[in-house]
Amino acid sequence: MLEKILETAKFIKGELPTLPKIAIILGTGLGELVHEISDKKEIPYETIPNFPVSTVEGHSGKLIYGKLGGKEVLAMQGRFHYYEGYDMREVTFPIRVFQALSIQYLFVSNAAGGMNGSFDIGDIMLIDDHINTFPEHPLRGKNYKELGTRFPDMSNAYDKDLRLMAMEIAKNNNIKLQHGVYVGTQGPTFETPAEYNWFRIIGGDAVGMSTVPEVIVANHAGIKVMAFSIITDIGIIGKIVEVTHEDVQEAAKIAQPKMAFIMQEVIKRLNL
């Protein structure tokens, strides 16, 4: 595993003019943010040694280097999911490569179903915390001290300072920003009404099929995280309607510009 991580990091280093300190993972329908990145260099996943390849519609499958908010970034246009058949080491492999590249900040986005009664389709939720329901933990197995401690603390999984910055930016620019707890599930089915209800009872505000494994590994790696969910469907008893992947993509595209603005402004403020 360590050899693969270092081999992949070495390849990427050879492709980049400089090494960014910021990485971004763009989820379903959110890949359009790359149009905001200037001075781009694109590296297709299939050309990167040991890198998985995204199989989901709406995930382009490119690693993109460039400038966003005046700073160099490395963006994943397309991520990997447990439901695609990858194991957790494969799902989170890019985070390990980011660690080997000395990434300090990770920005994550996803599309999610909202369970909070105050949420509407198209809302942006700043993730405060998460509940992990995946059947496999990304840190299960032998722990390598080079990668992190055996029992990492998760009390600040979503960095408080970054969240406060995002909230201030949203307030100053009259952007409606919800916040709450994200429930990570294995998918690929959307939730039943009973599952939505259960996730709400245990403390969830939104639910999706990604993000949690990547955030766990990023924290293990000492990388600070900020994450957003775009609410693309509603899982509230009495308001649940049939949802398709295409519906999710369309809702995400509409909300994306506001999320992109907040993300860029936070990046501008980072002292690197």
Give me the torsion for CA of 112, 266, 77, 21, rounded to 10°: -130
pLDDT of residue 30: 64
For the stretch 179-208, pLDDT in tens is 999 999 998 998 998 999 999 999 999 999
36: DSSP letter:
G
pLDDT score, position 27:
76
Domains, the chain, in order of start with CATH, read 1-140+150-269 (3.40.50.1580)
Give pLDDT tens digits for 85-117.
999 999 999 999 999 999 999 999 998 999 999
Alpha helices in 72-181 (DSSP H): 88-91, 93-100, 160-172
Integer distance in angstroms from the first to the last C-alpha of the chain?
30
Token representation of residue 61: 């499958």
pLDDT at 243: 63
Ranges under pLDDT 50 in the chain: 58-59
Distances 151 to 39, 81, 143, 147, 270 between C-alpha atoms, Å = 40, 24, 9, 12, 28
CA 247 to chain CA mean position, Å: 20
Q: Tell me what pLDDT residue 250 has.
A: 73
- pTM as predicted: 0.91
DSSP H stretches of helix in the chain: 2-15, 88-91, 93-100, 160-172, 193-201, 212-220, 245-269
